[in-house]
Amino acid sequence: MKQFELKYGCNPNQKPALIYMNDGKDLPIEILNGRPGYINFLDAFNSWQLVKELKKATGLPCAASFKHVSPTSAAVGLPLGDALKKACFVENDSLSPLACAYARARGTDRMCSFGDWVALSDECDLSTALLIKREVSDGVIAPGYAPDALEVLKTKRKGGYNIVRIDASYVPEPTETKQVFGVTFSQGRNEVEITPDILNNIVTQNKTLPESAVRDRIISLITLKYTQSNSVCFAFDGQAIGVGAGQQSRIHCTRLAGSKADTWFLRQHEKVLSLPFAPDLSRPDRDNVIDGYINKNEEDVCADGIWQKYFSVRPDPLTDEDKALWLAGRDGVSLGSDAFFPFSDNIDRAKKSGVKYVAQPGGSIRDDAVIACCDKYGMAMAFTGIRLFHH
C-alpha cells in the first residue's frame, strides 16, 4: 500500500488528508480492520516506537496506552499482585505476560486512557485481546495478531475497531521532516539509546541502586522520549504510574505526574478496592466515580442524595487522613525528567509521592541546590546528560 486516505486531518475541516512515504515505497503497515484517522496514526507510530524500544531495553513484553500523542502509561509484562489486579479489574482473568503489560498500562490512569490507542511490543494473544475488547479504545498497533485474538478484536465497535499490523523490521530514514505553516523542518531522528549506562553518573551521597530502580528509571526515560514536552514521569514496579506532559513549567509537570501517581497508589487503598458499586454502573462511570471518590471533585459521590446513583450501600468516605497515611507509606518510586530541574521544588514535590530514585540530564545553574535537596531526603539521583524533548 503506497498511501492511505484519511477521513480528515486533526479536525473535520482539514481535508484532504493522507499518509504516505516520501520515497514512494510501501507503507510499513497493514490495516487489518477499521479506518484509522490522522490522530490515530500519530498515536500509533509514536506508541509503537515506545514499546519497541522498551522491549529492546528490558527484554520483556511491553504495552502502552496513548492519548493525543502522549502516553498515559507504559508498562512491562511483570505479574500483578492481588491488590493491583483488583485495582485494574483483572482479578478474575488469566493473564499472559503481554496481557500483564497491557493491564498495567491501561489500568494506570483510567480516566485519561478512555478512548486511547494501544501499542503492543509482541504479537497480540487471546489473553490480551480479551482485555482490550472490554475497554473503550480507538485502536491497536502490534507486529502481529494470533488468529483468535484478531477475531475477538474485530468484534469491537460494531466491527469498526481499528487494527494495525506494523512491520517490526521497518527502520525509518535517519532524517525526518515536517511542515509548520508551509515551512519544512528537517532534523536527525532521535536515535539516542536509553540504557543502564546513562545512569552511572550518580551525583548524590546515596549511590545505592537496586535493579528495580534501574529498570523503572529506564521505563520513565523511554516513556518521556515519546511524551510531548515539557514532561516528567513517575515509575514504579515496572510501569509508568504518572505522566505529566506538555506543561510550560517543570514544576507543573512534576505536580501533574505526582498527582496521577498518588491516584494510582490510592486506587489500591482497601476502601477503594471494596467500593460497593451499583450492579448496573458502567465501566466508564465506575472509573469516574473512583476518581471523584479519591479526589473529592465538585460532586462528592458520598454526599446525601448522590451516593445512591453509584453504590448499593453508602460507602465510608476516603478522608484526608486516610490518604495521607496511605501515601506516607509509599517509597522506592523512580522519577525521570526530559530536561534539567531548574529548582529544588520539584524534588520536594516528588518526595511527597514516594520518589527515591531520580534521573535527569543535569546542567542547571542550580544543580547544587537540587542535589542538596535529594541528599536531604536520601534520594539517589543520576545525571544522564541526555535531554529528551519531543514535539
68 classed as catalytic: yes
Which residue do the cell numbers 487494527 mark? 163
Classify residue 212 as exposed, middle or buried by CB count within 10 Å of its CB (0-12, 13-18, 19+).
middle
Beta strands in the chain (DSSP E): 3-5, 18-20, 29-33, 62-67, 70-76, 116-120, 137-142, 162-166, 175-180, 183-188, 231-236, 239-245, 333-337, 355-360, 380-383
52, 67, 225, 260: which one is catalytic? 67
Direct distance between the N- and C-terminal alpha carbons of the chain, in angstroms, rounded to an integer: 28
The residues pairing with 359 across neighbouring beta strands, listed in sequence order, are 336, 382
Task: Determine the Cα–Cα distance for residues 17 and 4; give it in Å rounded to an integer.
Answer: 9
Task: Determine the Cα–Cα distance for residues 275 and 267; give it in Å rounded to an integer.
Answer: 11
Task: Determine the Cα–Cα distance for residues 133 and 360; give it in Å rounded to an integer.
Answer: 37
Closest listed residue to residue 68, CA positions, set 227, 175, 298: 227
Task: Determine the Cα–Cα distance for residues 340 and 331; give it in Å rounded to an integer.
Answer: 23
Which residue do the cell numbers 490522530 mark? 39
Which residue do the cell numbers 522519577 mark? 335
Q: On the CB side of 358, how many CA atoms lie within 13 Å of its CA? A: 34
Task: Determine the Cα–Cα distance for residues 260 and 113; give it in Å rounded to an integer.
Answer: 12
68, 252, 271, 352: which one is catalytic? 68
46, 230, 288, 346: which one is catalytic? 230
2, 25, 158, 391: which one is catalytic? 391
67 classed as catalytic: yes
Q: What residues act catalytically?
A: 67-68, 230, 391
